[in-house]
A and B are shown apart, each in its own frame.
Chain A
Amino acid sequence: MTRAAIQYLRLFTLFLLAMLSGVRCRASSDTPETIKFWAMGNEGEMVRQLIPEFERLNPKIHVNVQQIPWTAAHEKLLTAFAGESTPDVCQLGNTWLPEFSVLHSIEPLDRFAAHSSGIRLNDFFEGVLKTNIIDSALVGIPWYVDTRVVFYRRDLLAEAGYTTFPATWNEVLRLCDLMQRNARAKHIPRYPLFLPTGEWVPAIILGMQSGGNFLRDGNTRGNFSGPQFHRAFDLLAQFYQKEYSPAGMQLITNVYNSFSDGLITMYITGPWNIGEFTRRISPNLQSQWMTAPLPSMDSTSPGISLPLGTSLSIFRRSSHKEAGWKLIEFLTSRDQSVAFYKITGNLPPRKSAWNDSSLSQNKYIQAFYKQLQRVDPLPQVAEWEQIVIKLQLYVEYVATQTMTVDEALHKFDGDVDQMLEKRRWLVEKNKH
């Protein structure tokens, strides 16, 4: 062997040793464990402000927040699942939970919640918590809640003789009639109640209020042509037929301008619009808008609304489940959900958080608090999103009087049966 070769071998051995020691160093416990956290849209940006506090409390955990745009979130999560690159903790719309449960992609959290000191499940709004329980397994913890209430113009309601928002839909119909007549007498264009045809929300809310039962035979077939939903759709159709609501989506491109102009005077929407209305309704009208819980089909008040919002879940493939749970515990704690409300306007999922003065002294928030006590879960089937998107099409058909209510609902049931074909087969298969 030449000297050069010996020299080379020595160097190589040194290099190997260095590498081995490097590996040993990395395995030691000084460096924190990193968890990957996916959050959507604005939440993904704002939640970064809460992470430093979490990392201070848990010095051994480092959180890598990745922001996903809402519009691409669903597709991206499914492709991530197919490509085995799901994050450790993820924000999921609670209407998506059934789908991700079907995929066996999210971890049941019961065992964590049972021993948790921070999370008391009875502090969460019951209707929203229910959406996180699928086949009796807890698959997510509500991060923030969302429901729909009415935003209305107080001055224009007063003009029609209403000082408070009506409690029933029959009253709302009467109010719409009065407002329309007032406006027509003055030659002002007016659609009293804006029910967007490109949204499934009003139709589903009315459906829930008239008894639900959207699906039948163990959620394997559509029941939209059944008497309950039929009644709801009849009511919805009236608003379009009588021109209480515009029948297309193109006329009202900017809700805030239309609301300021009085082109629309009532609008069913969610909590994010408190901030938007404060910023975008013209300043001289700021004292003239208010929120109210939904009217009902019967005399109970308020009427049922939707239990929406997003939850935090842990993916099954994660190898940092304990650390992930710590992050969930932290973010859904009372104090952090209040802090999150202050920076985003997202409503806290825990009832105890609503005592905080930032919420209890906001007059627009009160309607949401009342409404959140009266929300009902939606059917927990993976195809639900597909079903309600299809429903929008039939709302459009009925609103433009292209189809009768009967015709639309029968066709819609046919479509729903087709979408649920695989589910029917799976349910049958599991019986045998």
Chain B
Amino acid sequence: MSSRVRKVRHDNHTAAAWLFLAPAMTAIAVFFIVPVLSALIMSLTDFDVYALGDLSVVRFMGFHNYVRIFETPLFWTALKNTFYFVLVGGPLSVAASLGTALMVNSKLARFKSFFRTVYFLPVVTSLVAVAVVWRYLYHPAHGLLNLFLSWFGVAPIDWLGNPAIAMPAIIVLAVWKNFGYNMLIFIAGLQNIPDDLYEAARIDGAGAWRQFIDITIPTLAPTTVFVVMITIIGYFQLFAEPYVMTEGGPMNATTSIVLMMYEQGFRWWNMGFAAAIAFVLFVLILFFSIVQMLIQRRLQR
């Protein structure tokens, strides 16, 4: 008898829960699940500008778009560029965030909130405005950067025009633009480390470096994993920086996967092909996120 009552009550609870969830679930279904599923279906067709005019010319292509992606040299270039950006820019960005977080959080530091604001400023400024200024800095003949280097006898460098240097130049911009955000997360992480740990270490005679290696790094590990994960996910989606600074050039040296997808989808209206690129990127990010999560679990044990 009592178990039946419990069951009824349980059912009531479930129903109520669904009722409360319904608005949010509807929104997610309409604005997320339906578009994603349509994109998935679209990626199996050759939906393009002709199809926009006459739906009867859409062909079902199976996995042809996916095969074509891997046959397109530009995709491999874009993939290589994206990895370059993630693998070089990612660690640099995390290191810069951690470094500034340590400095700002240090007991010796003065004007802490001033520096926190200064380092965070690039995050809140508009990328397009920033990119215009950086293009002046990078200008081969009149740029501030080359002027500065010329004092040390360095010959002018064509920062955005040289295919070998354009990506590093984009990375420097991106790191400068983004490190402030992760810095804040690191500061929060640092402030969570109990002071008694450092005190005990000092009593045991540990120096600053020793304290950093044995206390700061391990206790900060969960924060670091989180920061690395969001940085990698964000950096895989590199788009705005090359879009504004170089349009993917010179000679595709800064074309990223998302930039290629944008060009295919919104410039040339090859929606089917662009949707397929989006799913390849999705699988790529998913794979790296799973690897990250596995590492995190091992660390927590």
Whether both chains belong to one complex is answered with yes
Binding site for B on A (CB under 8 A): 74-75, 78, 81-82, 99, 102-105, 198, 248-251, 253, 382-383, 386, 393, 396-397, 400, 402, 422-423, 425-426, 429
B114 to chain A, nearest CB (A): 35
Q: A396-B249, A397-B251 are in contact. Are A105 and B158 (CB under 8 A)?
A: no
How many chain B residues touch A (CB < 8 A): the figure is 25
- B141 near A198: Cβ-Cβ < 8 Å: no
B165 to chain A, nearest CB (A): 11
Chain B residues in 8 Å Cβ range of A253: 139, 141
- Kindly report which residue of chain A lies nearest to residue B247, judged by CB atoms: A198
**A250, A251, A383: residue with the most chain B Cβ atoms closer than 10 Å:** A250
B115 to chain A, nearest CB (A): 34
Question: B267 at the A/B interface (Cβ < 8 Å)?
Answer: yes
Q: A402-B251, A422-B46 are in contact. Are A248 and B158 (CB under 8 A)?
A: yes
Q: Would you give 26 A-B contacts (Cβ < 8 Å), ordered by A?
A: A74-B267, A78-B49, A78-B52, A82-B52, A102-B53, A103-B49, A103-B52, A103-B53, A105-B53, A249-B249, A250-B158, A250-B159, A250-B160, A250-B161, A251-B158, A251-B161, A253-B141, A382-B49, A386-B267, A393-B252, A396-B249, A422-B48, A422-B50, A423-B50, A425-B59, A429-B57
Q: In the complex, A301 Cα to B226 Cα: how many Å?
A: 68
Question: B91 at the A/B interface (Cβ < 8 Å)?
Answer: no
Question: B189 at the A/B interface (Cβ < 8 Å)?
Answer: no
- B140 near A78: Cβ-Cβ < 8 Å: no
Residues of chain B from 133 to 165 with CB closer than 8 A to chain A in the complex? 139-141, 158-162
A355 to chain B, nearest CB (A): 41
Chain B residues in 8 Å Cβ range of A383: 268
Question: B269 at the A/B interface (Cβ < 8 Å)?
Answer: yes
Question: B266 at the A/B interface (Cβ < 8 Å)?
Answer: yes
A414 to chain B, nearest CB (A): 10
B145 to chain A, nearest CB (A): 13
- B53 near A386: Cβ-Cβ < 8 Å: no
Binding site for A on B (CB under 8 A): 46, 48-50, 52-54, 57, 59, 139-141, 158-162, 249-252, 266-269
- Kindly report which residue of chain A lies nearest to residue B265, judged by CB atoms: A75
* 4 closest residue pairs by CB, A with B: A250-B161, A103-B53, A248-B161, A386-B268
Chain B residues in 8 Å Cβ range of A423: 50
B183 to chain A, nearest CB (A): 32
Chain B residues in 8 Å Cβ range of A251: 140-141, 158, 161
**B54, B59, B158, B269: residue with the most chain A Cβ atoms closer than 10 Å:** B269
B12 to chain A, nearest CB (A): 42
B37 to chain A, nearest CB (A): 19
B143 to chain A, nearest CB (A): 10
Q: A386-B268, A426-B57 are in contact. Are A396 and B250 (CB under 8 A)?
A: yes
- Kindly report which residue of chain B lies nearest to residue A414, judged by CB atoms: B73
The count of A-to-B residue pairs whose CB atoms sit within 8 angstroms is 61
Chain A residues in 8 Å Cβ range of B159: 250
Chain A residues in 8 Å Cβ range of B249: 198, 249, 396
A197 to chain B, nearest CB (A): 8
Chain A residues in 8 Å Cβ range of B162: 248
- A102 near B49: Cβ-Cβ < 8 Å: yes
Q: In the complex, A356 Cα to B268 Cα: how many Å?
A: 41
Q: In the complex, A393 Cα to B54 Cα: how many Å?
A: 31
- Kindly report which residue of chain B lies nearest to residue A79, judged by CB atoms: B266
A419 to chain B, nearest CB (A): 8
- B266 near A75: Cβ-Cβ < 8 Å: yes
Chain A residues in 8 Å Cβ range of B54: 104
Q: In the complex, A104 Cα to B140 Cα: how many Å?
A: 47
Q: A386-B268, A393-B251, A397-B251 are in contact. Are A249 and B161 (CB under 8 A)?
A: yes
Q: A104-B54, A422-B50 are in contact. Are A250 and B140 (CB under 8 A)?
A: yes
- A249 near B53: Cβ-Cβ < 8 Å: no
Q: In the complex, A134 Cα to B159 Cα: how many Å?
A: 44
Chain B residues in 8 Å Cβ range of A99: 49
Q: In the complex, A396 Cα to B246 Cα: how many Å?
A: 14
A95 to chain B, nearest CB (A): 14
Q: In the complex, A75 Cα to B46 Cα: how many Å?
A: 19
- Kindly report which residue of chain A lies nearest to residue B51, judged by CB atoms: A422
Chain A residues in 8 Å Cβ range of B59: 425
- Kindly report which residue of chain A lies nearest to residue B68, judged by CB atoms: A418
Give 6 A-B pairs besides A103-B49, A400-B251 with Cβ atoms closer than 8 angstroms. A78-B49, A102-B50, A396-B249, A422-B46, A422-B57, A429-B57
A96 to chain B, nearest CB (A): 11
A196 to chain B, nearest CB (A): 12
- Kindly report which residue of chain B lies nearest to residue A394, judged by CB atoms: B251
- B57 near A396: Cβ-Cβ < 8 Å: no
- B50 near A382: Cβ-Cβ < 8 Å: yes
Q: In the complex, A251 Cα to B268 Cα: how many Å?
A: 29
- A81 near B158: Cβ-Cβ < 8 Å: no
Chain A residues in 8 Å Cβ range of B141: 251, 253
A311 to chain B, nearest CB (A): 19
Which of B139, B250, B268, B269 is the one whose CB lies under 8 Å from A248? B250
Chain A residues in 8 Å Cβ range of B250: 248-250, 396
Q: In the complex, A429 Cα to B59 Cα: how many Å?
A: 12
Q: In the complex, A425 Cα to B51 Cα: how many Å?
A: 13
B55 to chain A, nearest CB (A): 11
Q: In the complex, A123 Cα to B203 Cα: how many Å?
A: 96
- B52 near A81: Cβ-Cβ < 8 Å: yes
A248 to chain B, nearest CB (A): 4
- B251 near A426: Cβ-Cβ < 8 Å: no
A249 to chain B, nearest CB (A): 6
